[in-house]
Amino acid sequence: MGLAVLGLVIGVAWWIAGVTIFVALFGMALVARHRETGRWSYERRSWTGEQDGRQVELVFDEKLVVLNRLTLCVDGQEAARDTIFYGTKELSGAGVSVRVGSGWIGECVGVVLQDGSGAERPLTERPAG
């Protein structure tokens, strides 16, 4: 990244320096993600559980890289959909409420199912494949 700034100082086209900075920042984010999650790829992951005899699934789609897509399915039917960038978001639909956390590099840091009494249970991540 220092080379990009140096390039700007000595007169390299601004767009070349901009592209260089973008590529450097994206590369650093990928390295940080690999250190945190052990994965290089951005993929679709899901967590499952059961509440009151109903099958609950939360799909966390990382393929948008920065803005992750959340889909809550109850008994195989989509109940709610939203996006998350960073922090915690609650997704509710079909009488089910799920709280999802996203870390600073877009990784999922927690998925918990909330019941009517306010008690929380973590959902189980489904193995990829």
What is the DSSP annotation of 45-62? EEEEEEETTEEEEEEEE-
Residue 33 structural domain: 2-37
**Which pTM does this prediction carry?**
0.70
- Per residue in 10-25, pLDDT (tens digit) is 666 767 777 888 888 8
Q: Are residues 108 and 77 in the same domain?
A: yes
Domain containing residue 96: CATH number: 2.40.128
> Using an 8 Å Cβ cutoff, are 4 and 13 in contact?
no
Q: Are residues 28 and 49 in the same domain?
A: no
- Per residue in 8-62, pLDDT (tens digit) is 566 667 677 778 888 888 788 778 767 776 766 667 889 999 998 999 999 998 7
Cα 76 to Cα 122: distance, rounded to the nearest angstrom: 19
Count how many domains the chain has: 2
- In sequence order, the β-bridge partners of residue 111 are 100
